[in-house]
Amino acid sequence: MAVTLTNPVGGSAGAVADARPVLLQATGVCKAFDLPDGNGAFTVLQDIHLAIREGEIVALLGKSGSGKSTLLRILAGLIPPSSGLVVSCGKPVLGPNPDVAMVFQSFALLPWLTVQENVELGLKARGVPREERRQRALQAIDRVGLDGFESAYPKELSGGMKQRVGLARAFVMQPPLLFMDEPFSGLDVLTAENLRSEVADLWAAGNFPARSVLLVTHNIDDAVLLADHVIILGANPGHVRGEVHIDLPRPRERTMPGYEQIKDAIYLAMTNPEADVQQLIAGIDRRAETRFAPLPHARVGGVSGLLELVDERGGAQDIAELAGELNLDTDDLLQFLDAARLLGFAEIQSGAVTLTPVGRAFVEADILESKELFRRQALERVPLLRFIVNTLKSSKRGAMDAEFFLDVLDEHFPADEARRQLETAVEWGRYAELFEYDADKSRLRLPDESLAGAPA
C-alpha cells in the first residue's frame, strides 16, 4: 500500500514541507462513544489528520479531556476509530498496532513481577527465546539507569524508577514507533525534569531504540524541549488546530534563544481556544527574525510641532538654526527628527530637514486626516507597531497584557530601554488609534471597530 508523503496539516505556517517517509498517518479519524441508555453518542475526536515521519518526535499537545489518550489508543490500534483510517508502516491498522510500544502515565507495571520480568513481558508475548529475552532486557534496564534493580519489585521503586521500567519495557521492543502518554505527569517536578532530559539526551545521541516518537502531553515545556513538531489539539470535540515546527538545536535548554518566544506563542494558542494558531506561529518567526529597530523617544506632539515649524519656514530648515530657535536640547531635537524620518514625514540631508509630500500633508491636514496619515505611515514603517497590532488581532478578544510585549522587547533591548520602547509605541499607537491602553489593567486592546479587521 502506498503511503502519501504530503503533509496532512499542510498550509499551516509552522509546518514545513518534509520529504522524510511517513511512518504513521491518520486520515479523517473520528471517534464517538455511545452514551448510556441509548441517548445518542458523544463525539470525542473529529476529523483528525496527522502524520509522524521517520526520525522525528511529534508532540500532541492539548488540555485534559481534549481526546489525546483516545487518539493515542486509536493510533496504537487498541480501540477502533468510528470513521477514518490509520496507516502504520504502510499497512492499515485494524487491531493492535505491532509497530508501536507504549509508555503510560500510570507506569502500568505488573506488581507481582520483578523489573526484569516486567521488561521481558512483551518479548515473551512475541515468542523471543529465553536467553535473548534476558540479554535484551538487561541491556534496556541498563540504558534507563536501573542497573542493579533487575530483581526488585515495583512496590520497592520510586515513581521515577517505575517510569524508567516503563521506558525499558518499551525500549526493549525496539519498535519503529514509541508512544508516550503523559510519561512525566505522574512524577514530581524534579524527577520529571531529570527523566525528560535523559530521554532528550538518548534521542540526541542518535541510538534511540525507536525510529519516531509520539509524545502526548498537556505540558508546553515537554513539547518545546522534546518535539520536532507540536500538534495543537483543540477540545470539544478534539480537533487539530495547527502544527508548530520547532527547529531549536539539541540538546535544548529553556534559556536558549527562541525558546521563550515559541513557548509564549504556544501558550497563547493554548489559552485562547479561538485564536488562529497559524497567525500566532507566524508571530514566532517575526519575533525571532525582526530586530526591532529602536523607536526614537519622541512624543507625537513634539514631532508634529517640529514639522509644523519646518512647514512654516517653507518646508526646509537648517537643523542647527532650528535647534537654536526652539531652544531645544540637541538630543531631543534629534529624537524628533529621527521619528519624522522613520515615519516618512521628513528627510534629512546635509544638515537640513525637508518635509516629504506626506509630511506636508500630515501637518496641513485636519486632525482626523492627520491621524489617518500617521496610522498608515506607522503601520507601514514601524515593525514594532505592526507586530503589536497583528498580535492583538490574533488574540482572543483583541486584547493582551502589556507585559507580554515587554517580554518580547526584553529580548531586543536592556530592561529600561524595553520599557521606554513600549511607552513610545503605546503613545504612537494610541494617537493613531491603532489600539487602546487600559492603564489600570496594564492591557492593550484593539479599538472595537477594528476587531473584525484583516491583519495589518
Ligand X SMILES: Nc1ncnc2c1ncn2[C@@H]1O[C@H](COP(=O)(O)OP(=O)(O)O)[C@@H](O)[C@H]1O
Given Mg ion, ligand X, none, residue 67, with its beta carbon under 5 to 8 Å by kind, binds ligand X
Write down the least CB distance from residue 221 to ligand X, Å: 17
Q: Which is nearer to ligand X, 68 or 136 (CB)?
A: 68
Given ligand X, Mg ion, none, residue 66, with its beta carbon under 5 to 8 Å by kind, binds ligand X
Write down the least CB distance from residue 26 to Mg ion, Å: 17
Write down the least CB distance from residue 175 to Mg ion, Å: 20
By CB under 6 A, name the one of 26, 44, 227, 230 that touches ligand X: 44
Residues binding ligand X: number (CB under 6 A): 11
Based on the shown chain and the rule CB under 6 A, indicate whether residue 236 belongs to the binding site for ligand X. no
Query: 357 preceded by cis ω (within 30°)?
Result: no
Write down the least CB distance from residue 239 to ligand X, Å: 12
Write down the least CB distance from residue 399 to ligand X, Å: 28
Q: Which is nearer to ligand X, 44 or 434 (CB)?
A: 44
Q: Which is nearer to ligand X, 181 or 338 (CB)?
A: 181
Q: Which is nearer to Mg ion, 235 or 352 (CB)?
A: 235
Contact region with ligand X (CB under 6 A), list: 59-67, 90-98, 156-164, 445-453: 59-67
Based on the shown chain and the rule CB under 6 A, indicate whether residue 33 belongs to the binding site for ligand X. yes
Q: Which triple of cell numbers denotes residue 169?
A: 519495557
Specify burial of residue 21 (Cβ count, 10 A radius: 0-12, 13-18, 19+).
middle
Write down the least CB distance from residue 48 to Mg ion, Å: 15
Smallest Cα–Cα separation from 58: which of 26, 93, 11? Answer: 26
* CA dist 232 → 7, 238, 267, 387 (Å): 15, 10, 11, 23
By CB under 5 A, name the one of 69, 114, 185, 272 that touches Mg ion: 69
Given Mg ion, ligand X, none, residue 112, with its beta carbon under 5 to 8 Å by kind, binds none
Instruction: Return d(Cα 90, Cα 363) in angstroms, integer.
Output: 68
Contact region with Mg ion (CB under 5 A), list: 27-35, 67-75, 423-431, 432-440: 67-75
Given Mg ion, ligand X, none, residue 271, with its beta carbon under 5 to 8 Å by kind, binds none
* CA dist 359 → 30, 257, 320, 345, 380 (Å): 58, 39, 20, 4, 15
Based on the shown chain and the rule CB under 6 A, indicate whether residue 64 belongs to the binding site for ligand X. yes
Write down the least CB distance from residue 181 to Mg ion, Å: 6
**Residue 180, C-beta contacts closer than 8 angstroms, at least 6 positions apart:** 102, 103, 170, 213, 214, 215, 216
Write down the least CB distance from residue 182 to Mg ion, Å: 6
**x/- binding map, residues 65-104, to ligand X, per CB under 6 A?**
xxxxxx----------------------------------
Instruction: Return d(Cα 312, Cα 363) in angstroms, integer.
Output: 10
Q: Which is nearer to ligand X, 32 or 326 (CB)?
A: 32
* CA dist 427 → 58, 152, 301, 302, 336 (Å): 43, 66, 10, 12, 14
Determine phi and psi for 225, rounding to 5 degrees.
-75, -30
Q: Which is nearer to ligand X, 70 or 424 (CB)?
A: 70
Write down the least CB distance from residue 95 to ligand X, Å: 18
Given Mg ion, ligand X, none, residue 44, with its beta carbon under 5 to 8 Å by kind, binds ligand X
Write down the least CB distance from residue 437 to ligand X, Å: 38
Residues binding Mg ion: number (CB under 5 A): 2
Contact region with ligand X (CB under 6 A), list: 63-71, 159-167, 222-230, 417-425: 63-71
Interface with Mg ion by CB under 5 A: which residues?
A: 68-69
Interface with ligand X by CB under 6 A: which residues?
A: 33, 42, 44, 62, 64-70
